[in-house]
A = this chain, B = another copy of it.
């Protein structure tokens, strides 16, 4: 045991035995889903079936959003130079930063701050949201997780919230997110609806996920989408093509039923 000896509480690896947060991995395999094991590895405990279902929906909601997000463009650009798959994925992940995907962490911090104001001052969601937004306005900061370039009624937000209601997981933070949405109308004179990042932020608060790993949920969800784009770039396009950031069209299958 050297002076550099250290400890970790994630995974115990012994000859012919691997345990994840205490659970033998071969007992988890076939029993719980990938989403549930992600929750386990990040939070240290297995989710309830309801939470497991909600996490699945969160990951499904963010797996891909077409070819124009900068993470996809960075990944395709690198893939186009003949780079290895993992290099192209890494480039895509590097683009999931403050203005792209970063709204989850910032949204969670806002919702926590509003919750803190409610408790401290004994005020309502609307009052606390109004206070927080006024203060942000003074500092010229914008609320993260509201408004979308393309969607006015994001189908993902709607589904995430209705599912959370059904599963009994929509509580204080969903109410806070809605209070912010309502207060923003008065403040800005126009509607800036909760976007998918804002909805995920509220739900991760409900699930008691630390805000510092909020963006990780987006990154984990989006890596498979990046892989699909990288593979399409490598197999369908010629190397070193100039990749137009918006002049493309979808030519995949027509709308199907599950």
A63 touches B37 (CB 8 A): yes
B4 touches A245 (CB 8 A): yes
Complex CA distance for A150 and B17, rounded to whole angstroms: 10
Which of these, B22, B99, B158, B210, contacts A81 with CB under 8 Å?
Answer: B99
Interface: A28 (CB within 8 A): yes
A127 to chain B, nearest CB (A): 31
Encoded as 1 (CB less than 8 Å from any B CB) or 0, chain A from 91 to 119 comes to 10111111111100000000000000000
* B-side contacts of A26, CB under 8 Å: 155-156, 158-159
- Contacts A/B (CB < 8 Å), 13 sampled: A5-B244, A6-B243, A15-B152, A16-B154, A22-B255, A27-B258, A29-B61, A31-B258, A78-B91, A81-B99, A81-B100, A83-B86, A220-B227
B77 touches A150 (CB 8 A): no
B156 touches A25 (CB 8 A): yes
Q: Of residues 206 to 244 in A, which have CB atoms within 8 Å of B's CB atoms? A: 210, 212-213, 215-216, 219-221, 223-225, 227-229, 231-232, 234-235, 237, 239-244
Complex CA distance for A63 and B20, rounded to whole angstroms: 9
* B-side contacts of A77, CB under 8 Å: 70, 73-74, 77, 95
A83 to chain B, nearest CB (A): 4
Give me the 3 closest cross-chain CB pairs, A-B, nearest first: A82-B98, A9-B252, A22-B253
**A side interface size, CB within 8 A:** 131
* B-side contacts of A42, CB under 8 Å: 224, 227-228, 231
* B-side contacts of A251, CB under 8 Å: 7-9
* B-side contacts of A32, CB under 8 Å: 56, 60, 258
Interface: A182 (CB within 8 A): no
* B-side contacts of A163, CB under 8 Å: 29-30
A16 touches B97 (CB 8 A): no
Encoded as 1 (CB less than 8 Å from any B CB) or 0, chain A from 39 to 56 comes to 001101010000001011
B57 touches A29 (CB 8 A): yes
Encoded as 1 (CB less than 8 Å from any B CB) or 0, chain A from 1 to 19 comes to 1101111111111111111
